[in-house]
Amino acid sequence: MNAPANQQAVAEGEASASKELFPLDFAVADYDRTRPLLDGRVKPQGIALNATARWIGDFCERPVYEIYDVAEFSLSWYVAARCRGEPVIALPVFPLRMPVFAYVLCRSDAPYEHPGDLAGKRIGAPGYRYTVNLWLRGLLKEHYGLSPEQVSWVTAEKEGAGYVVPPGIEVTVETGARPEELLLRGEVDAIFVPMLPQAFVNGDPRLRRLFRDARAETRQLHRRTGIVPITHTVVMKQSLYDREPWLAPSLVKAFMEAQRVCDDFYAKDPKHLGFTDSVFFLEEQRAAYGERSWTHGLNPANR
């Protein structure tokens, strides 16, 4: 569809949307920033959302665009799907960002002080293709000099979603193995994980982060690059977008409004946040990342 025709379709769609609501099946995790869409406080113009809250991992393990009209989705899976020509398109909406340095663990007795110390070592991960792993490989290569080819990878599953491991990468599959168990048994030297293992959360003294101060490292990355890694986006069926292009800007505006509602809720009174020191936490967040740091759309911070 050429640009003028597409603009006309958007205008016509917005006009028709004022008369009746377009039904959409929609799925997203229950974050504070998406809850206004899930509970109906924010409604996209012209759209009747049939909203479903799902576990975050569901958006990393299956092609949700085959189930829902619009859904949260793993960024790495989306990129691979587009490369294969699958009928899905992303909106400039980013419901999940992660300080990925927090998700690199090693044993407490390990001598590692820098990512470069992992050269020649074995790194465990659920899968090579996962978005956290993708971000870490790129960041550690660009900013710390550790390339993916310099380590051996041990994953818990064969690569799905049509993903093919690049040439020159050594991957051993230990089907069903949990990365943290491999780490504790000494079968790998570090792990890259999308969720912190329960043993670490519970304070197991045998585990620590590779970065001694992952928070400071994350903020330093942001100061240098403006990046807080985007790990999930929101996708729409390509056929739906082609038929009803006006849906996309309506949804993007709704996500922006839901984010504003979330930000205003905490700004009004930090006690809304369930942390004992929430007032200090929010002050630190604003100082480190700005007043409204979680944004949608193709602004410079998200490109």
Residue 300 above 80 pLDDT? Answer: no
Res 15 pLDDT > 90: no
pLDDT at 291 over 90: no
**Contacts (Cβ under 8 Å, ≥6 apart) of 157:** 126, 127, 173, 175, 176
Sheet holding 104-107, edge to edge: 170-173, 152-155, 122-125, 190-192, 104-107, 207-209
Task: Calculate what percentage of the chain has a pLDDT beyond 90.
Answer: 78
3-state secondary structure the chain: CCHHHHHHHHHHHHHHHCCCCEEEEEEECCCCCCHHHHCCCCCCCCEEEEEEECCCCHHHHCCHHHCCCEEEEEHHHHHHHHHCCCCEEEEEEEEEECCHHHHEEEECCCCCCCHHHHCCCEEEECCCCCHHHHHHHHHHHHHHCCCHHHCEEEECCCCCCCCCCCCCCEEEECCCCCHHHHHHCCCCCEEECCCCCHHHHCCCCCEEECCCCHHHHHHHHHHHHCCCCEEEEEEEEHHHHHHCCCHHHHHHHHHHHHHHHHHHHHHHCHHHCCCCCHHHHHHHHHHHHCCCCCCCCCCHHHC
Average pLDDT for the chain: 91
How much is the pLDDT for 275?
86
Mind listing the pLDDT tens digit for each residue in 89-129?
Answer: 999 999 999 999 999 999 999 999 999 999 999 999 999 99
Residue 81's closest CA among 163, 166, 165, 136? Answer: 163
Q: Place 188 in a pLDDT band, splitting at 50, 70 and 90.
A: very high
* Domain covering 3-98+229-302, topology: D-Maltodextrin-Binding Protein; domain 2 (3.40.190)
Taking only the tens place, the pLDDT of each residue in 127-176 is 999 999 999 999 999 999 999 999 999 999 887 667 788 999 999 999 88
Pick the CATH number of 100-225 from 3.10.310.10, 3.40.190.10, 3.90.1150.10, 3.10.20.340: 3.40.190.10
* Backbone CA torsion sign across 22, 28, 30, 32: negative
pLDDT of 3 higher than 70: no
When mean pLDDT is compared across 91-105, 208-222, 281-295, the lowest value belongs to 281-295
Find the farthest-apart pair of alpha carbons in the chain and give their distance in angstroms, rounded.
66
Task: For the chain, give every residue range classified as CATH 3.40.190.10.
Answer: 3-98+229-302, 100-225
18: pLDDT strictly greater than 80:
no
In the chain, % of residues over pLDDT 70: 93
Reported as a single tens digit per residue, the pLDDT across 225-276 is: 999 999 999 999 999 999 999 999 999 999 999 999 999 999 999 988 888 9
Mean pLDDT within 179-188: 97
- pLDDT band at residue 195 using 50, 70 and 90 as cut-offs: very high
Query: Letter for the amino acid at 252?
Result: V
Least confident of 79-83, 142-146, 196-200: 79-83
The structure's pTM equals 0.89
